[in-house]
A = this chain, B = another copy of it.
Amino acid sequence: MAIKYCSNCGAPVSMRIPALDNRARYVCDACDTTHYVNPKIVAGCIPESGERILLCRRAIEPCLGMWTLPAGFMEMGESTVEAAIRETWEEAEASVEVDSLFALFSIPHISQVYIMFRAGLPRDEYAPGPESLEVALFREEEIPWSQLAFPVISRTLECYFSDKRAGAFRVHIGDIRNRMPQQPSDKMKQTSSSGMSVHPRDC
């Protein structure tokens, strides 16, 4: 969301390069406060129960009705692990024990960084939180690939099952980028989740 007014004094802001900086920022015309805008972290889990993992069906937009891993925006005062555990509780009412970092995916065109952890689900206890319609455990062959909410979730699960078959989990670093439009009709697709492609940096 664009910044129109200064959060410090309420006066209008303009976009200009502050002193000792090298890029344009929102700067207050009255009190000279610089308002920085930075990428957000989404932290989440791949909750594992034996051969199955836990997915949530979204009760909210975007992608209402589609399946996702439990994940959400990191809050102030948290660690990334605490954020992943909290989001898993809020969306799936599941208590997890974080095992290891699995993926660090940047999504530059929406300025988000996904940090996903493998996590144990010691008890098969879960239920839809306020943002989920249902929560369920899936084996690899049961994953609803065509009903996954976001490209970053598809990518995370592809890497996960690829590693699982290979017998060793590793940390995946990558970018998920908006596909460049090839022809006019392609431009239409760019606002949908299918209009995005994965930059295959690592797997």
Contact = CB atoms under 8 A, between A and B. Distances in A.
Given A10-B10, A171-B171, A106 B130 contact: no
Interface in A78-122: 78-82, 90, 100-101, 104, 106, 108-109, 111, 113, 115
Interface stretch (A33-41, A155-163, A180-188): A33-41
17 contacts: A4-B7, A7-B13, A10-B12, A37-B76, A38-B40, A38-B75, A38-B76, A39-B41, A39-B76, A41-B113, A79-B108, A79-B175, A81-B106, A81-B173, A81-B175, A101-B171, A171-B171
A73 B41 contact: no
Given A41-B41, A171-B101, A35 B7 contact: yes
Interface of A: 1, 3-13, 20, 22-23, 33, 35-41, 73-82, 90, 100-101, 104, 106, 108-109, 111, 113, 115, 130, 171, 173, 175
Contact of A113 (B11, B36, B80, B171): B80
Contacts of A101: 104, 171, 173
B104 A80 contact: yes
Q: DSSP class of A's interface residues: helix, strand, loop or mixed? A: loop
A63 B49 CA distance: 47
Number of copies: 2
A106 B80 contact: yes
A31 to B, nearest CB: 11
Contacts of A76: 37-39, 111
B104 A78 contact: no
Nearest to A5: B10
Given A115-B104, A171-B171, A78 B1 contact: no
Contacts of A106: 78-82
